[in-house]
């Protein structure tokens, strides 16, 4: 009798946990995987294998001697040193709506979020202003780095989303921004989230690698490859991750998104020989996932192969998604500048950098 009672308790517990899990994953913030006409277009992509998107080079997620479960446990509960600053970081609070429209500039908000003004057009990239994960107690923002919110943004001509991971696509932020966003540019399939969240289809431009879109008034954008992965829930690689070459009448800016090193850097550099500013991922790397983020030893090599006039690095200084010191990416940037012989911009969060 006792054994039967224990069995009923165990089954009941599993049922409750399963129900809670289903309800949790069914929240709107997880988005929706592509379907209908959008899925049919995805199936035509040479980067789609019939089930999922794939990288140009063979890429495994876990490259260490531990599996994903073991690596996750070590990340959550293992010993780490100086991965999070003890005190608030120095952040400049700029009135973004008062910045000049007749000058080109960039303002970085920490991690991979930044706003650019190019020839009078406002381009907002990967805005994460509330949460970098599905739950608020994981991947918390560093102290002092949460001062910018959607209300601080000017009207946005182009919202660029490199991929749909939580630390690049913030549900609450893009929902609040929708009335002031004229166009969204992203990879194939990511538009499904935006349509599900209330964005009109006519605002959405979804590109495959090497596809281009004319944005009018001398502006053009081309989606270029990246070596990464995608997914907001248990479904991985149903949407495409990408980098972007953004051409304005004055200059070309390359937006790197998240990517490990690969032959695509040299290909992009040869295709776009006039890159003025390239924005590179630098942070959240680890030998256990060395192919899907840029390891420090490749940062200078990427700069040489892209051949841009100057660089800025992002994906650091706001979240702890790896085990390296929070200061280490800044040292990487300095070293890569020396190795490549190219200037690297290193602004404070919120500081205005003029590109003229």
Cα separations in angstroms, 78 against 71, 74, 137, 323: 9, 4, 17, 9
- pLDDT tens for 12-56 read 444 444 444 556 577 999 999 999 999 999 999 999 999 999 999
Q: Does residue 291 contact residue 60 with C-beta atoms inside 8 Å?
A: yes
* Separation of first and last alpha carbons in the chain: 80
Integer Rg of the chain from CA = 21
| DSSP code of residue 184 | E
pLDDT of amino acid 77: 67
- List of residues 6+ apart from 292 with CB closer than 8 A: 59, 61, 227, 228, 229, 258, 259, 260
At residue 16, the 3 state secondary structure works out as: helix
**What is the maximum span of the chain, computed from C-alpha positions, in angstroms?**
80
Residue bearing the bigger pLDDT, 148 or 71? 148
Q: How far apart are CA 66 and CA 321, in angstroms?
A: 17
Name the pLDDT band for 4 (thresholds 50, 70, 90).
low
pLDDT of amino acid 349: 98
Which 3-state string (H, E, C) describes 185-202?
EEECCCHHHHHHCCCCHH
pLDDT above 90 for 329: yes
Name the token pair of 74: 């070590």
- pLDDT tens for 253-311 read 999 999 999 999 999 999 999 999 999 999 999 999 999 999 999 999 999 999 999 99
pLDDT above 80 for 117: yes
pLDDT of amino acid 74: 74
Query: What average pLDDT does the chain have?
Result: 93
Q: How far apart are CA 309 and CA 307, in angstroms?
A: 7
pLDDT above 70 for 128: yes
80-94, 206-220, 265-279, 282-296, range with the lowest pLDDT: 80-94
pLDDT above 90 for 6: no
In the chain, which residue ranges form alpha helices assigned H by DSSP?
A: 2-25, 36-43, 68-77, 171-177, 191-196, 264-271, 296-306, 328-340
Boundaries of every domain in the chain: 1-30, 96-354
Q: What is the mean pLDDT of residues 80-102?
A: 95
Q: How far apart are CA 298 and CA 191, in angstroms?
A: 32
- CATH number of the structural domain 96-354: 3.60.15.10
The reported pTM is 0.93
pLDDT above 80 for 61: yes
pLDDT of amino acid 89: 96
Q: How buried is residue 91: exposed, middle or buried, by Cβ count under 10 Å (0-12/13-18/19+)?
A: buried
Name the token pair of 136: 């608020």
| DSSP code of residue 150 | G
Name the token pair of 146: 């949460």
Cα separations in angstroms, 343 against 157, 276, 331: 29, 11, 14
């Amino acid at each position: 009798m006792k054994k039967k009672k224990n069995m009923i308790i165990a089954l009941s517990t599993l049922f409750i946990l399963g129900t809670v899990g289903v309800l949790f994953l069914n929240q709107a913030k997880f988005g929706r995987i592509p379907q209908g006409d959008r899925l049919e277009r995805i199936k035509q992509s040479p980067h789609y294998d019939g089930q999922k998107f794939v990288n140009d080079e063979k890429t495994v997620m876990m490259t260490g001697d531990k599996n994903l479960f073991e690596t996750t446990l070590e990340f959550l509960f293992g010993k780490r040193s100086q991965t999070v600053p003890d005190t608030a970081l120095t952040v400049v609070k700029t009135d973004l709506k008062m910045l000049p429209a007749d000058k080109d500039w960039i303002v970085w908000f920490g991690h991979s979020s930044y706003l650019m003004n190019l020839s009078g057009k406002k381009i907002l990239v990967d805005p994460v202003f509330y949460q970098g994960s599905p739950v608020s107690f994981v991947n918390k923002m560093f102290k002092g780095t949460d001062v910018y919110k959607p209300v601080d943004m000017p009207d946005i001509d182009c919202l660029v989303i490199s991929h749909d991971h939580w630390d690049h696509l913030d549900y609450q932020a893009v929902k609040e921004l929708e009335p002031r966003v004229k166009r969204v540019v992203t990879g194939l399939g990511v538009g499904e989230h935006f349509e599900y969240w209330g964005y009109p289809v006519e605002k959405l431009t979804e590109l495959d690698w090497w596809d281009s879109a004319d944005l009018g008034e001398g502006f053009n954008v081309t989606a270029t490859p990246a070596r990464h992965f995608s997914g907001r829930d248990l479904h991985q690689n149903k949407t495409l991750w990408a980098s972007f070459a953004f051409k304005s009448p004055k200059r070309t800016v390359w937006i790197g998104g998240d990517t490990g090193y690969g032959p695509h850097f040299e290909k992009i550099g040869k295709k776009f020989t006039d890159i003025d500013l390239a924005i590179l991922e630098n942070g959240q790397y680890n030998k256990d996932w060395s192919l899907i983020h840029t390891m420090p030893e490749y940062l200078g090599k990427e700069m040489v192969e892209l051949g841009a006039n100057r660089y800025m690095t992002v994906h650091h200084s706001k979240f702890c998604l790896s085990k390296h010191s929070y200061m280490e990416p800044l040292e990487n940037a300095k070293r890569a500048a020396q190795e490549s012989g190219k200037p690297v911009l290193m602004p404070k969060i919120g500081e205005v950098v003029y590109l003229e």
